[in-house]
Chain A
Amino acid sequence: MKKNHSSITEFIDRFIRRHKIFNIAFYFLCLSLQVAAQGNQGLKLSCERDTSRCWYIVATTGVAPDRIIVFADFNVTQVNPGVVQINTLIAHENTKNKDFYTTALEFDKKKKLYRSVGAYVVFGDGKIQLEAGSKWDSVPSGWLERVALAANEPNVRSNPGKHGMAAFAGVFRPIDVVDLARAFLWKPVQKDLNQGSK
């Protein structure tokens, strides 16, 4: 079923682009068909270009006000056969220590290994600390396992909802993803806490 839906979507996309349709009625028809076709797949972000960013929530942990969200950019790149690279972002609700940590991770699916190829941490006071890449290591259980699942399995990326992952934002800068999370995911609880202390 899924294959049919995506092929309809792709066909409509290609048709619109090739023929540069200027017919408003047809455009709306196509748009509604696209929405209907994508409806069963849940909300998805478009990762069609190398410059696109598709941040999905892959794991969460902690309780307010110390919650942590792990985001992964589903615009995965193939580094060489068997090895893929994925951008990962760990956002902290409480900025007393770290604000967020972002890293580009490489995963070797066959050998079940991973390594970081570069990272930086932004602390609560705004200081930035760059981190060098790491050596190949086995993938531990926990959030890294979730990121590995998203990186290695195209089926997981095409059906994120089935694997407990959710689309969040298509913004380029990790810091903007963190600010969006603060504004829309964490803000209501912070407000309640403030009201309670008054």
Chain B
Amino acid sequence: LRTVKFNFKLSLIILLFSITPGWSQVPNPMNSEDIKEAVGLLGPGSSTLRGRASAIISGGLLNRKFGYAKNELVYLYPMTKYMNNWNQEHKRDYVIGMFFISPEMHDLTARVITDDDGYFKFRGLKAGKYFLITKVNYKATLSEKNDTGRSNLSLNYFSGVISSTPIYSYKTVSQQLDHHIYKIVEIGENHHQELGEIR
């Protein structure tokens, strides 16, 4: 059982920010040269890229439990000048950085879907650098701490209150969580690249 302190306020803020359509106004715009460069890099090539998207979902060093991306999209963004600048700007926090990628750049990607075991394969890639993004969705069991509103009172001999401690109730809840994978990969000409398991 994995115990994570559930922070309701933080969850609500993240939820609000992740679905608000206002974010679509923020990204850095792409100019026609950037678009031309990305389209060129997505042209037909002869290299392949294989891998398996995974995440450590529980356990220590000896009893680790892995989760695999089941039918998840894997994106490859060609590392154009635009993407290189974006990477320099947001390499400390790609999750936030994703909101600053222009919608055109999201269109100009290679995309495949993982199979049931998390394996994916890109065909027909051109040699070059790419930014890989995917996620592993897994179920986590959380322990939620609730204040019952009642307290344990310690009384002295004259029934005076010395101390009171609140009584909590613990509820086990299951939640679907996402582990995001961000990785820069470099592919050679006519090369069959094996990434192995990526986390």
Taking Cβ atoms with an 8 Å cutoff, the residues of A that contact B are 16-17, 20-22, 24, 27, 49-53, 120, 122, 126, 128, 170-173, 175-176, 179-180, 183
* A24, B123: Cα distance in complex, Å: 40
A-B contact pairs, 29 of them (CB 8 A): A17-B21, A20-B25, A21-B20, A21-B21, A21-B22, A22-B16, A22-B22, A24-B15, A24-B19, A27-B19, A27-B21, A49-B107, A50-B35, A51-B104, A51-B107, A126-B46, A128-B44, A172-B42, A172-B108, A172-B109, A172-B111, A173-B42, A173-B110, A173-B111, A176-B110, A176-B112, A179-B123, A183-B113, A183-B115
Residues of B within 8 A of A20 (CB): 21-22, 25
* A179, B123: Cα distance in complex, Å: 9
Chain B nearest Cβ from A151, distance in angstroms: 21
Instruction: Say yes or no for B128: interface residue by CB 8 A criterion.
Output: no
- Total A-B pairs in contact (CB under 8 Å)? 68
Chain B nearest Cβ from A70, distance in angstroms: 19
Taking Cβ atoms with an 8 Å cutoff, the residues of B that contact A are 15-16, 19-22, 24-25, 35, 39, 42, 44, 46, 103-104, 107-113, 115, 121-124
* A97, B115: Cα distance in complex, Å: 26
Please name the 7 residue pairs, one residue from A and one from B, whose CB atoms are nearest each other, closest first. A20-B22, A51-B107, A175-B124, A51-B104, A171-B111, A16-B21, A128-B44
Chain B nearest Cβ from A99, distance in angstroms: 9
* A17, B25: Cα distance in complex, Å: 8
* A173, B122: Cα distance in complex, Å: 11
Taking a contact as CB atoms closer than 8 A, the residue among A17, A24, A27, A180 that contacts B113 in the complex is A180
Residues of B within 8 A of A16 (CB): 21
**In the complex, which residue of chain B has the Cβ closest to the Cβ of A176?**
B111
Residues of A within 8 A of B103 (CB): 49
* A123, B20: Cα distance in complex, Å: 44
Residues of A within 8 A of B19 (CB): 24, 27
Residues of B within 8 A of A180 (CB): 112-113
B20–A27 contact, CB under 8 A?
A: yes
Residues of B within 8 A of A22 (CB): 16, 20, 22
* A176, B109: Cα distance in complex, Å: 10
Residues of B within 8 A of A120 (CB): 44
Residues of B within 8 A of A21 (CB): 20-22
* A53, B103: Cα distance in complex, Å: 13
Chain A nearest Cβ from B40, distance in angstroms: 12
Q: With contacts A51-B35, A128-B44 known, is A172 near B21, CB below 8 A?
A: no
* A49, B24: Cα distance in complex, Å: 14
* A24, B35: Cα distance in complex, Å: 33
**In the complex, which residue of chain A has the Cβ closest to the Cβ of B113?**
A183
**In the complex, which residue of chain B has the Cβ closest to the Cβ of A18?**
B25
**In the complex, which residue of chain A has the Cβ closest to the Cβ of B114?**
A183
Chain B nearest Cβ from A100, distance in angstroms: 10
Chain A nearest Cβ from B33, distance in angstroms: 14
* A195, B15: Cα distance in complex, Å: 45
* A190, B24: Cα distance in complex, Å: 41
B111–A128 contact, CB under 8 A?
A: no
* A53, B21: Cα distance in complex, Å: 22
